[in-house]
């Protein structure tokens, strides 16, 4: 998958707003291009946003053409603030910008040209690590699935939401690579339709059997006994194991509990935010009302109707059977067990 590629001092992204009808690659030549792509969701999904943000920092560093080192560091901080201002919920964005800023600080004694090269190497390392992490998560998560299982997923936590392979879909891919027959039910994920547009497309490209349902069908298919496990991604996980993920995840988790179906979250350690004690403190992005009143540009609601459009919700830890990370599956009590896996 070409979710994001760094080539000759530019970042190339699949424009996810146009999938699956068109596969268009957009080129980001400046940090402002990157900030715009994150804000407008040309690139989305917590890990993909993180690595994109890291390359945004590199572009920002390359754009500085002075020779005053103090001014260079001030400028880099300003670039970081712009990139951090794009979307509030996925902690990977903040983690990635801070990792680049910290790396710059570590090599502060070098000349500006050398610092820029170090930052480019760091972003490339983050991109490689993301794929390795997903494969590790896939390996651990696949042990939770049996041959013949059907997994329900919400939103898109696949190759398109990461540099490649995916988190929740990475677990499914790993199980399939182990020779298990796994089928997927994909919630369409209103209002932005990541499930219908991206998850369904991505799985079909890989010949993994997928059935698309609208979000309000999840309870029906669970009660019918069609689902063996739910696996979703995460945008931020609080110290107590509460998980912020795409709006609608909470409802799916409650339904899973009611139907005795295990509910797993697959997320890299970079998605943990141990500074946040509980989910209520996670900032939730509110997006444009147009996403609710329109589908693909066509109005579906009376003009002027009052709208609420939170892009994420928080699933309380009591609904979460386990959190699949690159260091293994973490089980409750999360307050204690998440502390053991620190951020790199
Ligand atoms: O608004 P989005 O599309 O960026 O939201 C994405 C999600 O909620 C994903 O489930 C989450 O980022 C995990 S992606 C591996």
Ligand 1 atom index nearest CA of 285: 1
Strand partners, 186: 153, 212
State if residue 157 touches ligand 1 by the CB under 6 angstroms criterion. yes
Domains present along the chain, CATH in parentheses: 4-134 (1.20.120.420), 144-342 (3.40.50.10470)
Element containing residue 314 per DSSP (H, E)? strand 312-315
Question: What mean pLDDT comes out for the span 164-186?
Answer: 98
The residue whose CB lies within 8 Å of the most ligand 1 atoms, and thus the one to mutate among 37, 47, 134, 234, is 234
Q: Of 118, 187, 126, nearest to 162 (Cα)?
A: 126
Q: What is the pLDDT of residues 224-271, one digit of tens each?
A: 999 999 999 999 999 999 999 999 999 999 999 999 999 999 999 999
Nearest CA to ligand 1 atom 6: 45
- Answer whether residue 344 shows pLDDT above 60: no
Ligand 1 atom index nearest CA of 90: 12
pTM attached to this predicted model: 0.97
Q: What is the pLDDT of residues 282-312, one digit of tens each?
A: 999 999 999 999 998 899 999 999 999 999 9
Among 130, 235, 242, 313, the one annotated catalytic: 235
pLDDT at 342: 67
Q: Of 264, 274, 261, 268, nearest to 315 (Cα)?
A: 264
The verdict on whether 235 is a catalytic residue reads yes
State if residue 163 touches ligand 1 by the CB under 6 angstroms criterion. no
pLDDT at 1: 85
The residue whose CB lies within 8 Å of the most ligand 1 atoms, and thus the one to mutate among 17, 44, 53, is 44
Q: What's the gap in Å between 114 CA and the centre of ligand 1?
A: 35
- Answer whether residue 165 shows pLDDT above 80: yes
pLDDT at 343: 53
Supply the mean pLDDT for the chain: 97
State if residue 90 touches ligand 1 by the CB under 6 angstroms criterion. yes
Six-digit token string for 69 = 């080192």
Count CB atoms within 10 A of the CB of residue 46: 28
Question: What mean pLDDT comes out for the span 190-217?
Answer: 98
pLDDT at 232: 98
Q: What is the pLDDT of residues 317-342, one digit of tens each?
A: 999 999 999 999 999 999 999 999 86
Report long-range pairs for 36-43 (Cβ below 8 Å, ≥24 apart).
Answer: 37/13, 38/83, 38/86, 38/87, 38/93, 39/86, 39/87, 41/16, 41/17, 41/192, 42/13, 42/15, 42/16, 42/17, 43/3, 43/4, 43/13, 43/14, 43/16
Question: What mean pLDDT comes out for the span 84-103?
Answer: 98
Cα of first residue to Cα of last residue in the chain, in angstroms, is: 26
Six-digit token string for 121 = 């190497």
Q: Which residues contact 113 (CB under 8 A, 6 or more apart)?
A: none
Q: What's the gap in Å between 288 CA and the centre of ligand 1?
A: 17
Strand partners, 264: 231, 322
């Amino acid at each position: 998958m070409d979710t994001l590629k760094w080539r000759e001092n530019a970042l190339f992204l699949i424009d996810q707003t146009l999938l699956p009808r068109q596969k268009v690659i957009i080129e980001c030549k400046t940090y402002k291009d990157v900030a715009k792509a994150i804000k407008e969701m040309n690139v989305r999904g917590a890990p993909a946003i993180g690595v994109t943000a890291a390359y945004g920092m590199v572009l920002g560093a390359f754009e500085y053409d002075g020779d005053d080192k103090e001014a260079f560091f001030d400028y880099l901080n300003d670039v970081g603030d712009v990139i951090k201002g794009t979307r509030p919920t996925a902690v990977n964005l903040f983690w990635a910008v801070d990792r680049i800023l910290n790396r710059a600080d570590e090599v502060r004694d070098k000349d500006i040209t050398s610092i820029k090269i170090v930052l480019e190497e760091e972003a490339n390392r983050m991109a490689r690590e993301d794929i390795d992490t997903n494969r590790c998560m896939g390996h651990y998560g696949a042990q939770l699935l049996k041959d013949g299982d059907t997994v329900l997923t919400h939103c898109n936590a696949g190759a398109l939401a990461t540099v490649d392979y995916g988190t929740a879909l990475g677990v499914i891919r790993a199980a399939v690579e182990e020779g298990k027959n796994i089928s997927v039910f994909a919630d369409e994920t209103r209002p932005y339709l990541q499930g219908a547009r991206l998850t369904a497309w991505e799985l079909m490209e890989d010949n993994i059997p997928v059935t698309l349902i609208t979000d309000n069908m999840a309870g029906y298919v669970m009660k019918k006994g069609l689902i063996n496990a739910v696996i979703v991604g995460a945008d931020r996980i609080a110290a107590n194991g509460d998980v912020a993920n795409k709006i609608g995840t909470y409802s799916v988790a409650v339904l899973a509990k009611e139907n005795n179906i295990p509910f797993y979250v697959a997320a890299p350690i970079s998605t943990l935010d141990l500074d946040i004690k509980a989910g209520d403190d996670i900032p939730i992005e509110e997006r444009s009302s147009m996403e609710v009143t329109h589908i693909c540009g066509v109005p579906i609601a009376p003009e002027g109707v009052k709208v609420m459009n939170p892009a994420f919700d928080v699933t309380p830890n009591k609904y979460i059977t386990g959190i699949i990370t690159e260091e293994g599956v973490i089980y409750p009590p999360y307050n204690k067990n998440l502390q053991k896996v620190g951020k790199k």
